[in-house]
Structure 1
Amino acid sequence: MPPSKEALSSYPAPTVKRRLISMVYELLLAFAVLFLPFLVFEVATGASHTPVVEHMRQALAFIVLGIYFIHQWSRKGQTLAMQTWRIRLVTAGGEALPLKMAVLRYLLSWMWVLPALVLDFALQLQRWHALYAILGGIALWSLTAFFDRDRQFLHDKLAGTRLVQLPKPTKAASVPQQAS
């Protein structure tokens, strides 16, 4: 039985470390989610690398990932990685996430990398320098949790959502069988 709204609102926030580790797992799952759409796209475009096709590829990733995350968050508040780490996404009041809030959170979650991507473009950073800028942006954004008393990331505060740490599931007590 899923936890009640009151129970969810009283659960603590997961640690920042736990959320970042969950995000690494999420990244691996995102590659799996993108595999088939990208395979079809590459076959359809002949694996072209023209600027138009590159932008279409980026748009495809944005849309496919959006569908995945928005669906999972609004359906039961968890992606597979979040289930593994017992993290659930809820509204600030502990309720299930409505579709509009899931869309808003998805758009705001791009703030993890968007400033670095703009910096990459503005300074024309290439290869390792571009990667370092993105990793630096991720590190800086993760620090936003330390400015919140509940340790929520800035995009969650702006979206009106929060992550909660679910308790470990209780194991059913085994009943000893009596010898006859």
Structure 2
Amino acid sequence: MRKRFADLDQTWPAGLGRRLGAMIYDALILMAVWMLLGFVAVALNGGEANTSPLFHSVLFVATFAFFAFFWMRGGMTLGMQAWRLRVETPEGLSLTLPQCLMRFLIAGLSFAALGLGYWWVLIDGERRGWSDIASGSRVVVVPKPVKNKPGKQ
């Protein structure tokens, strides 16, 4: 079931700096996941490194699963949470699996093109990158949570 986000009036399009910050956080988390998968692969392979196409496919699927899980669940990966970013449809809904796949594949293409798909945020009027445009989504900055002060309500 898709989630509908409630605070649409309080969000604004995310800029390149925040996006890059979230990407760095997520890259560190993904490196840990890849290392864990590598340890498992080495253990299953009798202590030898495994560089087979199957292993690379497992890494690819695990990476996609990481992003798709978070994007579909609440619109935020762990890195996006730290930078208060959320990916959503223009209607304020969480992404579908096909949208996640399109976003993931075009993000890889954007990265392979020396980041041009991300730099596109600087020239697009709505601050969208290639993956946003292709998947029909947008990345927004969410407001800081309101903290209740003791004694005030």
When normalised by structure 1's length, the TM-score is 0.74
Deviation at 1:109? 1.4
Deviation at 1:42? 2.0
2:88 corresponds to which residue?
A: 90
CA RMSD of aligned residues (A): 2.0
Aligned pairs for 1:117-128 within 5 A: none
Deviation at 1:71? 0.9
Aligned pairs for 1:140-155 within 5 A: 140-155=116-131
Contact kept in structure 1, 2:22 and 2:83, CA below 8 Å: yes
2:135 counterpart of 1:156: no
Q: Is the helix fraction higher in 1 or 2?
A: 1
> Secondary structure at the residue paired with 2:48?
coil
Aligned pairs for 1:43-62 within 5 A: 43-45=43-45, 46-48=47-49, 53-62=51-60
Same amino acid, percent of matched pairs: 28
Contact kept in structure 2, 1:72 and 1:79, CA below 8 Å: yes
Counterpart AA for 1:47: E
When normalised by structure 2's length, the TM-score is 0.85
Contact kept in structure 2, 1:9 and 1:94, CA below 8 Å: no
Q: Which runs of 5+ in 2 are unaligned?
A: none
**Distance in structure 1 (CA, Å) of the matches to 2:10 and 2:57:** 38
Deviation at 1:144? 1.2
Counterpart AA for 2:141: Q
